[in-house]
Structure 1
């Protein structure tokens, strides 16, 4: 039987299969040991995890081996061992070995960052090779990694050569029939995986770590490549479209919102001010979006590491939201939630999709109030399509890139952060102090022009490799996340101290919020605690500092700000005023690119792309989820939020031109 599957002509192929299975097993075992405290290690579960992993490894092999199998099948017997055969075989085997070692090395760095097999993030990173390679070089000893990689390839080739497997491949009498019989099983496996198996089927356990270990990295990568944009109506549980819009609209009616056209499937409405004094404020607004700052790092949110003294002090001087959750796990998700005030839609963020310009954003509300709108980023805003999105939605761009950017209406401009304005820079951009100095400089210019401004500032220092200027804090640069958090906090303090000396400070409101947590990994399909982020509004004139414990979302922060300023405006935003929310309105929307969660009270409903609906009770003490009987009304309002958000994107309901018709 063994000789039928691997005749002599297939000697190298057999060696490659053995190598791939062994390395994949070692990688899986390493991850299992690495996060042993998180994995379900019961013997039955553990066995199933590794058997499922082997199953996906074999499927991956069937796809990976197909070019070589075709070559072995059609290459004429009379030319075995010819120069062409030797060059093709040696090069092909070298390339295949290099790819698998490279992918397995990559999996270790990816797991270290995300505790997941390759997914859509890895696909996105292919586009931004400069930033990613530079980040890896600054985070890991890249020369050592490359040297180790090439050494492993060389050792593998040497061992295979010494075992005379190349010789056996070239010197044999394997017939076409033997080759065909050896090829057919792999073709069958390839067809089965191509037609009937998908990556979702590896997710058989309630424990997310076991599900990730059950996958194969390369297979997961290509699965994510195929499915990085999902249409809600095709992959998720739905309700009638009219019912979804009706359920969602009911959330806004009690607060006096009036719909522009109540007969249409849309949420475009007028938000009426409830300020009885008639006072309308138009302060400058500087929004600081902090990279990867989990709520757990703040003492004011239950932490005990004493690394955020500035933010903890600000929490007592601001409108501080203690129970607010990010919608996603990446910066583009945070930006999407904040600017569009929209629940997460499945697949990639709207920032990275087509038709992502000319949308109704919070910037449109600021524009109607007479504001200039600016987006600040310390790296090149080309990354993650940020400049296209912000520039195409009317924001001026200030970044570390080059060139001039115009939006469709030729109104957006691009300003560069010059070399002489930079004191420290890493893979992701200039340090936070440098970006804040640029914000101060531009704010001074705007103040001279006498026009209010809204600045959206995206920080980068709290990102691997966690490097920042030395001598600023008592934790050495590049030593880990805690140091980056403390430097991020220090830089905010330094920025505010400088801002207080400016003539525009007294008429400027500062909004500070994280884009997402430092990590979303956990045992469950959605780990609720890993979406909890800090958010505050500082320097509001008409509101005393207070802590607000309402369960709410990123999408609610700017609608809340607009309300406190007494603005009346037309809105296409999903978010609501947190200060007006009653117990029945409290909720948070969380998700990743495939799972969509709706959190209310201590219940979580999770929608999956196989039309799955799971309803849990969330225990905040140990961050665990326990299955509970389905609540139909809970399910319908959760579905309504996500179904309507996806429908509006796909039918143009987020577009300004559609709303103005």
Structure 2
């Protein structure tokens, strides 16, 4: 390589990086052989993978390349060599670390590391506990391989640099350097199109996990960080519509809106409750961590580990086709208590513009005289929950510091028993005072590393700390709570919603694994009579339905359907789902899927087989309708126009 002069060391760095990333991709492909080979042509898989690797390595090598004219001379030669040694070692450590972290992340999320990898770095205690208890071997292997690779490459790079001579005159470097810059630009852009390449370009199969394998984890995380800086406009990755076009679609789909794009709160609408009550009911929402339909036999799940929920379903309104809006807890929170639609951005629970003056049913009920409280067994600062809740209508937050002598305490806080006992005591206390109340109770026992007290359940299998046993324990605690609640004085004037935030592992070989978005939902308590709701429903429909059953007529910005009305729960219904970079609008069995910078697709989902079949490009009208649904929440968030006049600073 001597003819390359000072550029030879950059080429060696590039080749080493390509070798590491290609070997990692090969190993991942062998591990996921059936899914990879059934989804994509192997030569195309690896060729596109090298293309993605060149993008990331081009960005990593660029700082050295840009400094060459200043540092490659006889005065700064030693400094240049040290810089190459430090930066080159960093590149290899970064790439190896991200690739060794990939298998464990795929096992948990069925995708390469993405924005969640970055978001959870804020919570080292919880993340390390989860990794140590649930992924100890991958963690130790990954850290060990990263250290070994760093030491070996550092030694090898130091040897290369010792043989590296300054044998080019400065004029020759300056003459050829623009060609290097041009080459790097071509590598990083990877396309002659108007926009540079991004991970969406490499989504060439109908399997989201295989698409993620084509790229590399360093680039996947880098692009997630980049998008997080621009997430106010995140919905626009699918296309754009004018404000009037968005509102026209909303009016057509939700006739109760009469939406006005120029109004302070464009989706503000007043709906009368379907039930008239002398005194509105109290409300308790029990949000079950990761208790998806996968674990509920009557919903087609593979595992029957929720016998208590199965018994309870015959005592209230049971939703047979209820779907989560996303794959994370905060997404379930925003949909259930705010009725807010999902977007490709982070949940509004975490975003800065929604920490105050953002609608929640807690804020509405607070203004109607209710005491509003969030009850959690872990640390309420996790996922920014406490800040969002206190800023938007919750008067009280109870977390793990508020439990005296809990029965059990694990990595994620106290057990579901402790949590629901606390909820029972708080509800009883408010009832005795005659105080109207709303409680959001969020469980956590069904969370890796799946810790719970002994002696409560008959274990599934020989190992205790598994997802099946954690769900079974969470179900046990739920049954214990309702045994007490049904015997309590507060039962007759309290409405309960039991609902999951999302399924545990949302994965599958479909572009959007819809079967993994299905969750149980049950409304019971007070005078609620048993009923089966068969229509397709979303978490965003829960709050409007609950308010109506409580006997509360209200003006809110929520667009969700009131399923207490016969015309609504007898319709085909619709659900909205955000999965990684894909957005799905399901209406009955028809599914429209939006993809970043690509044509929308039409699919058919069968609830009987729980399979999604992609039929081809979506009709323009359907794509337009789905696009309006994903652009609306981004626009409302950016404009800070998802609230109600009641209590808003501008209307005080």
What is the TM-score with the length of structure 1 in the denominator?
0.87
Shift in alpha-carbon separation, 1:129–1:612, aligned structure 2, 3 A: farther
Task: Extract unaligned runs of 5+ from structure 1.
Answer: 402-415
CA contact (8 A) 1:4 1:178 kept: no
Query: Structure 1, residues 59-116: CA drift from partner, whole Å, max 9, x if none?
Result: 111111123334555334436874x566545443443332222222222222221121
Q: Indicate the residue corresponding to 1:337 in structure 2.
A: 335
Which residue, 583, 594, 607 being the options, matches 1:596?
583
Instruction: For residue 172 of structure 1, report the CA deviation from its aligned partner.
Output: 5.3
Provide the residue aligned with 1:237 in structure 2: 239
- Structure 1 residue 271, shift from structure 2 partner: 1.0
Contact 2:232 2:638 in 1 (8 A): no
Give the equivalent residue in structure 2 for 1:406.
none
Aligned residue in 1 for 2:130: 135
Aligned residue for 2:163, secondary structure, equals helix
Q: What RMSD in Å do the two structures reach over aligned CA positions?
A: 3.1
After superposition, the C-alpha distances for 1:563-608 in whole angstroms (9 at most, x for unaligned) are 2233222222111122421655611111135322210122111223
Output the CA distance in 1 between the equivalents of 2:173 and 2:151.
Answer: 28
User: In the alignment, what sits opposite 1:52?
Assistant: 48
- Whether the aligned pair in 2 keeps the contact of 1:259 and 1:269 (CA below 8 Å) is yes
Equivalent runs, 1:119-198 vs 2, <5 Å: 119-141=114-136, 142=139, 145-158=142-155, 164-169=159-164, 171=165, 173-176=167-170, 187-192=181-186, 193=188, 196-198=196-198
Question: 1:527 — aligned with what?
Answer: 513
The corresponding residue for 2:559 is: 574
Task: Tell me the SS of whatever aligns to 2:613.
Answer: strand
Change (3 A) 1:16 1:284: same
1:297 Cα deviation from its structure 2 partner: 1.1
Q: What's the secondary structure of 2:74's corresponding residue? A: helix
Alignment of 1:358-377 (within 5 A): 358-377=357-376
Hey, what's the Cα distance between the residues in 1 that align with 2:129 and 2:8? 39
> Which of residues 299, 317, 320 is equivalent to 1:319?
317
1:40, distance to aligned residue in structure 2 (A): 4.1
Structure-2 separation of matches of 1:585 and 1:306 = 28
Displacement after TM superposition at 1:455 (Å)? 1.0
| Pairwise CA distance, 1:261 | 7.9
Candidates 12, 16, 19, aligned match of 1:19: 16
Are the counterparts in 2 of residues 259 and 270 from structure 1 also a CA contact under 8 Å? no
Q: Which residue of 2 aligns with 1:459?
A: 443
Deviation at 1:458, TM superposition (A): 1.6
Conserved 8 A contact 1:590-1:596: yes
Determine if contact 1:617/1:628 at 8 Å carries over to the other structure: no
The residue aligned with 1:97 is 92
Q: Following the alignment from structure 1 to structure 2, what is the Cα–Cα distance between the partners of residues 60 and 570?
A: 50
Deviates most, 85-94 or 113-122: 85-94
CA drift at 1:532: 0.8
Give the Å deviation of 1:395.
Answer: 0.7
Distance 1:149 1:262, change over 3 A: closer
Quote the Cα distance in structure 2 between the aligned partners of 1:288 and 1:114.
24
Q: Contact 1:59–1:189 (CA<8 Å) still a contact in 2?
A: no
What is the deviation of 1:390? 0.8
* Residue 522 (structure 2) aligns with: 536
Match of 1:202 in 2: 202
Q: How many Å apart are 1:496 and its aligned residue?
A: 2.4
Provide the rounded CA distance (Å) in 1 between the counterparts of 2:251 and 2:384.
Answer: 32
Deviation at residue 483 of structure 1 after TM alignment:
1.9
* Shift in alpha-carbon separation, 1:454–1:597, aligned structure 2, 3 A: same
**Which stretch of structure 1 is more off in the superposition, 294-303 or 189-198?**
189-198
Q: Deviations over 1:506-542 (max 9, x none)?
A: 433321111112233333332221211111012241x
- The count of corresponding residues between Structure 1 and Structure 2 is 632
Question: 1:411 aligns to what?
Answer: none
Tell me, in whole angstroms, the C-alpha distance in 2 between the residues paired with 1:235 and 1:85. 41
Cα pair 1:373 1:454 within 8 Å, conserved: yes
Q: Does 1:224 align with 2:212?
A: no
**TM-aligned CA deviation for residue 46 of structure 1:** 1.6
Match of 1:609 among 578, 596, 601: 596
Q: Which runs of 5+ in 2 are unaligned?
A: 190-194
**Residues 413-464 of structure 1, C-alpha deviations (whole Å, 9 max, x = no match):** xxx42463362121x3332222223323332332333202111112222222
Give 3-state SS (helix, strand or coil) of 1:347's partner: coil
Counterpart secondary structure, 1:613: strand
Residues 601 and 617 in structure 2, CA contact (< 8 A), matched pair in contact too: no
Taking the aligned partners of 1:262 and 1:108, their CA distance within structure 2 comes to 46
| Structure 1 counterpart of 2:60 | 64
Shift in CA distance, 392/622, structure 1 to aligned 2, threshold 3 Å: closer
